[in-house]
Amino acid sequence: MKIHVVQRGESLWLLSQRYGVGINQIITVNELSNPNQLVVGLALVIPTPPLQYIVQYGDNLWMIAQRYGTTVQAIMQENRITNPSLIYPGQILRIPEKSRPTIDVNAFTSKFGEQGVQIVRNVAPHLTYLSPFVYRIREDGSLESINDNEVVQAALSNYVVPMMVITNFSATELGSTLAHTILASPELQASLLTNIINMMKNKGYRGLNIDFESVLPNDRELYNQFLRRTVTRLHTEGFFVSSSLAPKTSAEQKGLLYEAHDYAVHGEILDFVVLMTYEWGYRLGPPQAISPINQIRAVLDYAVTVIPRNKIWMGFQLYARDWVLPHVQGQEAETFSMQEAIRRAVQYGAMIQYDSKSQSPFYRYTDVQGRTHEVWFEDARSAQAKFDTVKDYRLRGISYWELGYPFPQNWVLLEDNFHVRKLL
């Protein structure tokens, strides 16, 4: 795949001529709703035909392999050649694509019922794990139930491993006191773990993700002890255990979100961790990139010093945000899909800009009421920057938050960069 940023005066016809690819292919890959209207700064994924080479006099496979950074064996396999000496001038050889690393890919979803099932079916080829969100714990060690039966079965039938998620917070409560109640009582923890195991067996889950947030700093060691108990119980039953961690840049980082999350202990005890490297562009905060690559790399620089790289999943958000300007603290931004972000840019004739520091696209527009808006989202460029980061840091994989916001470019580029591991 190639990424092309639209310039003034360009059309899909011009791009099809330049890259030798059909207009409909560009429309399909990018799921363009209005292909006749392109805005300046729009990043498009351009599908490219397989690389070919015409054999010249004096060529041999070793020379051709060296030229394209591949191996003789790979060229032979790609072209079904049995004797490396039997190539001839004028012969057209397909050059194999460069090897792609294999990673795990997880996605959280809060969409259930038929809508959730359809979403799972659509993205299942790109997933290793699916994490329905969320089972909230109760003070007595029981769990609030969710209607996840259909999406769990959709995951299993499409070769995706379902991962149960538990948490202490809700839309209206931080959950700090609730977490303390559980973490301070071995008896309540034993009851909670029994309920978790029974639920996983009943529903078909294969493992657990613990997303405890806003845990009191003084409960840090109690949380670590809970993780040890959880791993002991669940491993015995054949389940894996993971956690979701706030994005820290040092062990001493202060704040309710960070202090009780002991990266080193989570990395030692658990099978893997999800770094929640998103939400810098918070819906109630000022406009900024939601998942800025400079901030993500700062988190990873610390994480890889205390957590094995093959246990780290980097977080990646799948939604855009629209803030009204001037921003008033506490005023909520609108959250929607990348496709909607592009539609609005077209509707209001906004020029899409790209912030090189955060590696994120954004634009401003004025609505019919005369209000100025600022939109931050993800595009092919920012997605590629995140995929390059996963490669640079040699991470285990990517975890998406959350499904239900269409972003077709992401899935195309994901497959272009990686082999997605399948465990079922």
Active site residue ranges: 213
Q: What are residue 287's phi and psi, to 5 degrees?
A: -65, 130
C-alpha torsion sign, points 158, 148, 378, 249: negative
Angstrom distance (rounded) from CA 183 to CA 356:
43
CA count, 13 A, side-chain hemisphere, 266: 28
Tokens representing 11 are 């059309």
Nearest to 342, CA basis, from 74, 40, 120, 70: 40
**In degrees, to the nearest 5, what angle opens at C-alpha 43 toward C-alphas 332 and 115?**
55
Taking phi over 0 as left and psi of -120 to 50 as alpha, with beta for the rest, 187 belongs to alpha
* Sequence-ordered list of residues with C-beta below 8 angstroms from that of 58, at least 6 positions apart, any chain: none
| Among candidate residues 121, 122, 210, the one with its CA nearest the CA of residue 164 | 210
Task: Please give the DSSP secondary-structure letter assigned to residue 90.
Answer: T
What separation, in Å, do the N-terminal and C-terminal C-alpha atoms of the chain show?
28
Count the residues in the chain. 424
d(CA 204, CA 272): 20
